[in-house]
Structure 1
Amino acid sequence: MTEDSRADALRDKVRSLMPKAETDLAELVSYKSVYDPRVFPIEECHKAAQWALDAFVEVGLSDAGLYETPDGSQAVVARYPAPAGAPTVLLYCHYDVQPPMDESAWKSPAFQLTERDGRWYGRGAADCKGNLVAHLTALRAVRDSLGGKGFPVGITVVAEGSEEQGTGGMEAFVPQNVDLLRADALVIGDCGNAEVGIPTFTQTLRGTVNVIVTVETLAGPLHSGQYGGAAPDALAALIHVLATLRDAHGNTTIAGLPGDGIWDGQQYAPEQFRADADVLDGVDLLGDGTIADMIWARPALTVLGMDVPPVVGSTASIQPKARARLNLRIPPGIEPEQALKAITTHVESNTPWHARVTVETEGLASGFRSGTDGPARQAMEAAFHTAYGRESTTQGQGGSIPLCNTFAETYPTAEIMLIGVEEPKCLIHAPNESVDPSEIERIALTEALFLTSYGA
């Protein structure tokens, strides 16, 4: 059988499996697998984990089990031993999901997979149950194409149960189970393409620095009519500090952090970004660089929340204390400790009137940059080209996946590639999350082609 005929056979096989993929995803989406007992019972996560375990065992990964991680969540690990001389591939995904948020904003039930306008809607349909189903479909296609005689490479599937909560269960589990998860190539199925139909490697992930800034000026609130004009206002001082973190064009301006990074991969058209972000008519986009520069290659400061009096119920008072929670995203190359020192110094230096200011560290995470060459990357690039009919490109991602750094530190010689079904229209983490089923089909075909060619 020629290479082209093998590819055509896999393409036909994946296509024939798509009804099963839809059934699989509908079942998975029905589990309210939010790893937070305050939102849904943890039993929902256990049901999703058991479903995934059973599915991967059925496809031929018989060395499988549920492993409790240090944060209490269950990780699904299913393996197939590598044939003699063949490499091992780790396929990662997670089965836990974000809460549905405002359920009244959903046009169809959040935990019921619903087809609408050619897309499949439901919480986790893309992030990340859609990626789990893509892995599963790829494995079925390879198994069936080989007559049920196993796989040409070693396979380890890892489905995490608490990724969305950021509680670090898997990050702690990996170093404790090095041999269990050891692989030559790691395919992180928790990303996606720049657009539907454009095969994309996510090359970089931004790191994060979260801090809480507290400004204090008075022992207690004062009447603004009696004291206003001379008494130092903590809320006004906080507003002043926050205003110094961006310039008039919206560039993040924290002393000591470079703000001129350039993204040389896939670009993001401003009009497409405006549509994807649902920016209001007439409102400017931020920054002096391209969209790709601003969201993937430069620091970005966001005010996540503030403790200030609400408008309704507020009084004519000068505030003695105000707080803000800040999120700083940093590209690879800027260490989180460096960024923490820079933002702390900046806040302290720009707080007016000698007001008391404290900067409390809430969390740090490093950025990540994957490799761009190696036998696994070359095989995946070829698989992308065959599956999509065009060359692959690269993008960054504003979010963080701390597990990637854990994998890189634990397996320094392994190739790590980030791909998946999540493109901008998926609206992951938002109401009306959806997935384009053609992306599940093409990512599954890409992975099936990769698994049959890598190491050959």
Structure 2
Amino acid sequence: MARIGADEIRTRVRGDWPRVLGLLKDKIALKSVSAQGITGEHMRRSARFVADQLSLVGIDARLVQSTNPDGTPGAFEVVGSRVVDAKAPTVLLYAHHDVQPVPDPAVWETDPFVGTERDGRLYGRGAADDGGGIAIHSGALKALGDDLGVNVKVFIEGEEEMGSPSFIPFIEAHREEFESDVIVVADSGNWSSDIPSLTTSLRGNTDLDVTVKVLEHPVHSGQFGGPVLDANTLAAMLIASMYDGNGELAVPGIESDQPVGGLQRDLDPGQFRADAGAVDSYRLAGTGSLASRLWTKPAASVIGFDAHPVEGSFNVVADRARFRISLRTAPSQDPAQAQQALADFLAAHAPLGAEVSFEYGENGRGWAMDPDSLAVRDAQDAMREAFGTDPVNKGEGGSIPFIPELKRLFPSAQVLVTGPEDPQSNAHSPNESISLYGLERNIVAEVLLLDRLGAGSR
């Protein structure tokens, strides 16, 4: 049972709205692209800005530079806390302050580093991912003020878009900054701008580099072509062997799951095709619900292929080809197990006896929410009241590898994955944006959640 009425909370959030919107616009302008150097002055400036903003809403926040596993300087992180009652539960609020690069500003309809309001959305790089997460936490803490009934810890990461290489060493060196009863990760999104969601699962991920070798050196296609197939063709045959006639990944040992907590609503194929930009003639691959294909079944993508470019090509049979497979794994599967299963399958299906060798990439585990936890119940009630409609929970096809690592280190903590995005947010893509309608209600939902968690302890 909440202690503060929803109408009062909405009034507080609306009164603070100019500050929240200004925060988000200022954050966009900082150009905190971690790919341009996580130790750069632009990243220090971004972390300092976030720490200052958290201090304004009652958090004792500071900037700390992490250390990479090899001992070199790492990302600029923001940590903070506020203790209200030693007997109250502790909630860790997570977001990240680094953003994706903008390879070609010309394909944007607005300046990517100027927050621009259009048709109820705010456009700019990092507006949703994950400036929106920072704005949600800031807005919620400001709205609660002295009515905050939980102890709060905050961690705003500076290298999430770079794979978080120093994240686990940082946690292990600062365990006291992360010990908590509930962890709220505001780095995902809602079913739509007006229908809220908890993220129920995340797929794991792994990479495998594959080299197919057929010759010791290239040869003339007129002299040897026919009996000797080029390595690019053999690689294509090998890749195709992973799939059945429906385009379903069919590799023994690579597992599938069903949507966690049951499927409340399937994805709309027409909208999905439009969002993906699929050509009219393309038939979506796989079988079963579209949601399961995207959230809990495995997916393999060839994300790199070394071959001679068409421009300047000549009549030579390629001796070898190299390609990289990115494998998204079911939430419950050990990605190292899936990686090895894929390598074993490809080695056993080498076309015409070509040599196949491997380089193994890093693994990130998937995660599945506990749909029966008390924190999930409180979060769903908060979302229902904030948005005025029942939440539709959903999985995510992507990965956030540090979440299962947090669960490993803090097994008793309940994890909630929320976030500011919606299907039109275009995170990682041109014209990234956040729904201002959705942002306001996400803030109200987080206030209601924190209030419920605090009320439950009294």
1:146 equivalent in structure 2:
none
Percent identical residues? 35
For these two proteins, the number of residue pairs brought into alignment is 448
Q: How big is each residue's C-alpha offset from its partner over 1:62-102, in whole Å with a ceiling of 9 and x where there is no partner?
A: 2x211222231011011001414211111100000111122
3-state SS of paired residue (2:327): strand
- Equivalent-residue separation in structure 2 for 1:118 and 1:281 (angstroms): 30
Q: Is the 8 A contact 2:267 2:291 kept in 1?
A: yes
- Equivalent-residue separation in structure 1 for 2:338 and 2:84 (angstroms): 42
- In the TM superposition, what is the alpha-carbon distance from 1:16 to its structure 2 partner? 2.2
Normalized against structure 2, the TM-score is what? 0.94
Structure 1 segment 248-287 matched on structure 2, within 5 A: 248-259=245-256, 261=258, 264-265=262-263, 266-287=265-286
3-state SS of paired residue (1:302): strand
Structure 1 segment 338-417 matched on structure 2, within 5 A: 338-417=337-416
**Alignment counterpart, residue 51 of structure 2, candidates 41, 50, 53:** 53
- In the TM superposition, what is the alpha-carbon distance from 1:257 to its structure 2 partner? 2.1
- Equivalent-residue separation in structure 1 for 2:178 and 2:135 (angstroms): 20
Structure 1 segment 214-293 matched on structure 2, within 5 A: 214-259=211-256, 261=258, 264-265=262-263, 266-293=265-292
Q: Is the 8 A contact 2:190 2:422 kept in 1?
A: yes
- In the TM superposition, what is the alpha-carbon distance from 1:232 to its structure 2 partner? 3.9
Q: How big is each residue's C-alpha offset from its partner over 1:365-388, in whole Å with a ceiling of 9 and x where there is no partner?
A: 111112223332222122111101
- Bigger shift: 374-383 or 43-52? 374-383
Structure 1 segment 54-453 matched on structure 2, within 5 A: 54-62=52-60, 64-71=61-68, 72-143=74-145, 149=146, 151-259=148-256, 261=258, 264-265=262-263, 266-453=265-452
**CA RMSD, 1 decimal:** 1.8
- In the TM superposition, what is the alpha-carbon distance from 1:5 to its structure 2 partner? 6.8
- In the TM superposition, what is the alpha-carbon distance from 1:130 to its structure 2 partner? 0.9
- Equivalent-residue separation in structure 1 for 2:452 and 2:259 (angstroms): 34
- In the TM superposition, what is the alpha-carbon distance from 1:216 to its structure 2 partner? 1.1
Normalized against structure 1, the TM-score is what? 0.94
Q: Is the 8 A contact 1:131 1:440 kept in 2?
A: no
- Listed as ranges, the gaps of 5+ residues in structure 1 are 144-148
Q: Is the 8 A contact 1:33 1:42 kept in 2?
A: no
Judging changes above 3 Å, is the alpha-carbon distance between structure 1 residues 31 and 86 closer, same or farther for their aligned structure 2 residues?
Answer: same
- Equivalent-residue separation in structure 1 for 2:4 and 2:201 (angstroms): 35
Judging changes above 3 Å, is the alpha-carbon distance between structure 1 residues 3 and 165 closer, same or farther for their aligned structure 2 residues?
Answer: closer
Judging changes above 3 Å, is the alpha-carbon distance between structure 1 residues 254 and 178 closer, same or farther for their aligned structure 2 residues?
Answer: same
- Equivalent-residue separation in structure 1 for 2:86 and 2:32 (angstroms): 38
Runs of 4+ in 1 over 3 A off after TM superposition: 2-5, 258-263
- Equivalent-residue separation in structure 2 for 1:410 and 1:173 (angstroms): 12
- In the TM superposition, what is the alpha-carbon distance from 1:429 to its structure 2 partner? 0.5
The amino acid of 1:11's aligned partner reads R
- Bigger shift: 387-396 or 48-57? 387-396
Q: Is the 8 A contact 1:82 1:88 kept in 2?
A: no
- Listed as ranges, the gaps of 5+ residues in structure 2 are 69-73
Q: Is the 8 A contact 1:90 1:156 kept in 2?
A: yes
- Equivalent-residue separation in structure 2 for 1:66 and 1:410 (angstroms): 23
Q: Is the 8 A contact 2:249 2:298 kept in 1?
A: yes
- Equivalent-residue separation in structure 2 for 1:233 and 1:287 (angstroms): 29
- Bigger shift: 22-31 or 97-106? 97-106
Q: How big is each residue's C-alpha offset from its partner over 1:366-416, in whole Å with a ceiling of 9 and x where there is no partner?
A: 111122233322221221111011222321111111110121011111110
